[in-house]
A and B are shown apart, each in its own frame.
Chain A
C-alpha cells in the first residue's frame, strides 16, 4: 500500500491513470452505447417511468407536488427535462434538506439507475433538455483555448477566472467547479439550475460546451499545474494579501525580532 501511495506521485502516474481511465471510459461506452439504443424500447422506457414515479412520490412530491406541478416549496418540474433531474439529483442538491438562499451540493443519495428512472418520469411530464450522452460531454479533442475565451465571456463573471466560484446576491453563490463531472457541467449549462441562467445549444452549441468543459478540466482539476507554487485558492488579491501580511510580513518581523534581540548572557560572570 505504502509503495502504491509513493508511486501515485510519480510523474508517470498521471499518464497511467489517464490510460486506465480512457480504457475504462471506452469499455464502458462500448458496453452501454447499445443499451442506450435499447432504452428507446417503449416497454423499457415506460417501466423506468413507473419506477421513477414511485421514487418521485416518496422523495420529491412533498415539495414539487404529486404531479410535478410545483408547490410553494418547490418549482414546477414540467418541462425541465431529464438533464435537470440528472444534475440536481446527481449532484445531491435534490432532494433539498432545508430552505435557504441556495440548495447546496450534498452526498448523492440515489444511485445512477434510480436517478435515470426519476429523470425518465420527470421527462415524461413535459419535453425538456435530455441527459447528454458520454460522447456529448467528452472534452477530449476540444479546443481548450477557445473554451477559455468562452468561459471568460459566459462563465467567469460568476464562477471566477478558473472556476473557483464566487458570491451572488443575498447569500447565493456560484459554486467552485473543481471536481464537477463533465456531464454535470454540461447539464448545468443546458438547464440553468437555481440562480444560474441556461446556455442552450441555440446560443452555445454543443462543441462550445465541450470546449468550456475542457478548459475547466485543464485549469481547475486535481492535476492542474500551478507552476509558481501554492495557488492560494486561486481567488486573486485577497488571499494573496492575507498571505503577504501573515506569512510574508509576519515572517520578516519574526526575523527582525531575532536580529534585534539581545544575545543570551553568560549566567554569572
Chain B
C-alpha cells in the first residue's frame, strides 16, 4: 500500500491514470503483448482496414440518420421543400428520407456518406476476401477467421439490402416485392413465411419497421461482434507475410504497432473517412427524390439492387421459367433454383479452405503467403468463381448494358446463360496456363538471371542479351514456396499380400490431388544442382 502511494506522488498524471486502469483492467499485461506488435507492410494487407473503417463510418453516420428517419409506413401527404413531390401521398419513411435530403442541413451528405460507405464496404470485403483467397491466407490456423469474414460479407449483403429498402422508394420497394415473390416460391413454407414477414399480405404496413430493427440492431449487432472476433484473431494469429529474405514461417517481419502502425492505421481511418466524405460530396447515390414513393402498381425500368445483390439478380434474370404443377401444388423452379444457386455459390467459397486442406492433408500452420502463381489450381478455381460472379453481375444489369452498348436484351441474357457454364471453365484453363507460364518464368529467372536489356556482341558477330544473375535475396524469394507431391492411392496390395481396396473417397482425393499437384499442373522448382550446373558451366544459351 505504501509503495503505491509512493509512486503516486512521483508518477506523472498519465502514468497515474494508467496505473488506475491497470489495477482494474490489467492493461499493462495487454500492452506488453500488443503495444509493439509487429505488422508487415503491404498494400494488400490494408484492404481489410478499408472494410473496418467503412464499417465504423457506416455506424457513425447510421446513428445520425436514425435521429431523423421515421420508420413508419403510415401514409402522409408531402409538404416539404422538394417541389416535384408536393401533395403526393407517401409513407412517413419516404417523407422523412426526403426531409433528411432536403430540409436537414448536412442530412443529404450524411445519407450519401452512409450509402457510399456501404457500397465500398461490400466491395472492400469482396477484394479483401479474394486477397486472402489467392494468397492462401485462409490456411491453418486461419480457417475460422475466413468463416468470420465470409459471414461478415453475407451479413453485410443483407444489412445493405434492408438498409436501402428503408426509404420505401419505388426502386427499393420493387426489390422488397422481388424478395416476397422469391419467398413465395419456397415449397410448403413460402406463403407462411411471407405472411409472417410482412404481417399479412404484401406490402402491408409492417415491413419497413421490421426491416428497421433488423437493419439498425440485429444485423449490425451480430456484425460488430464478428468484426471484434475477426480482429482478435488477427492479433492472436499475427499477420501473414509474403516470402522474402529473413521472413520465415516462424516469425513476422514488419514495423511495430506503436508508433508506426498506430499512425499508419489510425491515419488510414481518417484517409478513408475523408475520401468517402469527398465522394459523397461529389457523386449522388440513390437519389430517392427522383425515384418516387413506393406503390405496388408502379415500376421503373432499370430496376436493379445495389451491386452486391446484383449477382443474385443475375441468376434470377437469366433462369428459364420452369414451373412444375403436380397434385395441386406448384414447384416454382424458375425462382427456387436461383435461390439455391445463390446459396451454393456463396457456400462454396466458405467451404473451400476445408476442401483444400482435405486434399492436401496438410495439418501444419501456414504463415507465409503463396504467390497466386505458385498455387495454379487454387488460383484458377478462384478466378473461375469470380468469373461466375461477374457474369451474373452482368446478367443482373442486362438492361443497362443493352441500352448503353446498343445490344439486344435477349442476346445478353443468352450470353449470360452460356457464359455461366462456359465462362468458369475457360477462366480456369486460361488462369492455370498463365500461372504455369509465370512459374516457368520464375524458374528461368532463378537459373539464368534477369534480362538486363544490355545487348552484347560476341567476337563472331552474334548478339546476345546479358542475363544478370539474381542476388541471393531474389533467389530466395522465388524459391521459398512449398510444392506438394500428388497423393497416391497407395499399393492395392499391402505388405502381407492382402488386397486392400481404396475407398471411392480416397480415389477422389488422389485424383484431386493429382489435378492440383500432378505432373504438368505445377512447374518443379529449380534445384540447387540445376543451379550450380548452369552457373558453373556458363550455361547461358
A→B interface (CB under 8 Å): 101, 144-149, 152-153, 156-162, 164-171, 173-174, 215, 218-219, 226-232, 234-245, 247-249, 251-253, 255-257, 259-262
Contacts and interface: CB of A to CB of B under 8 A. Distances in A.
B152 to A, nearest CB: 16
A101 B116 CA distance: 37
A255 B300 contact: no
Interface residues of B, number: 70
Main secondary structure of the interface of A (DSSP, over half): helix
Contacts of A236: 171, 302-304
Given A145-B86, A249-B120, 6 more contacts: A144-B84, A161-B170, A167-B403, A249-B123, A259-B268, A260-B42
Contact of A156 (B102, B283, B300): B300
Nearest to A173: B403
Interface of B: 41-43, 45-47, 49-50, 83-88, 101-102, 108, 112, 116, 119-120, 123-124, 127, 170-171, 264, 267-268, 271-272, 275-276, 279-287, 290-292, 295, 297-307, 310, 397-400, 402-403, 406-411
A239 to B, nearest CB: 8
A224 to B, nearest CB: 9
A256 B268 contact: yes
Contacts of A144: 83-84, 86
A48 B58 CA distance: 66
B243 to A, nearest CB: 17
Closest 9 CB pairs of A and B: A166-B301, A241-B307, A228-B284, A244-B119, A171-B408, A167-B399, A167-B402, A256-B46, A156-B300
A38 to B, nearest CB: 39
A152 B300 contact: yes
Contacts of B171: 161, 236-237
A251 B102 CA distance: 29
A259 B284 CA distance: 28
A262 B260 CA distance: 12
A143 to B, nearest CB: 8
A252 B52 CA distance: 13
B301 A157 contact: yes
Contacts of A259: 43, 46, 264, 267-268, 271
B87 A145 contact: yes
B84 A148 contact: yes
A156 B291 CA distance: 9
Main secondary structure of the interface of B (DSSP, over half): helix
A161 B290 contact: yes
Nearest to B124: A249
Contacts of A237: 171, 286, 304-307, 310
Contacts of A247: 279, 283
Contacts of A248: 116, 119-120, 123, 276, 279
Contacts of B41: 260, 262
Contacts of B407: 171
Contacts of B300: 152, 156-157, 160-161, 166
Contacts of B275: 251-252, 255
A173 to B, nearest CB: 5
Contacts of B83: 144-145, 218
Contacts of A147: 84
Nearest to B276: A248
Contacts of B310: 237-238, 241
B404 to A, nearest CB: 8
B268 to A, nearest CB: 5
B279 A149 contact: no
B402 A238 contact: no
19 contacts: A145-B86, A152-B295, A162-B290, A165-B403, A166-B302, A167-B409, A169-B410, A173-B402, A219-B84, A227-B101, A227-B284, A238-B397, A241-B119, A241-B310, A242-B307, A251-B279, A255-B271, A256-B43, A259-B46
Contacts of A253: 43, 47, 50, 127
Contacts of B101: 227-228
B284 A156 contact: no
Among A160, A171, A173, A229, find the residue whose CB has the most chain B CB atoms closer than 10 A: A229
A145 B88 contact: yes
Nearest to A224: B290
Contact of A157 (B119, B290, B299, B397): B299
A170 B403 CA distance: 11
Contacts of A235: 302, 400
A232 B283 contact: yes
Contacts of A170: 408-410
A152 B170 CA distance: 9
A245 B393 CA distance: 13
A226 B402 contact: no
A249 B117 CA distance: 10
A157 B302 CA distance: 9
A227 B108 contact: yes
A161 B288 CA distance: 10
B134 to A, nearest CB: 15
B82 to A, nearest CB: 9
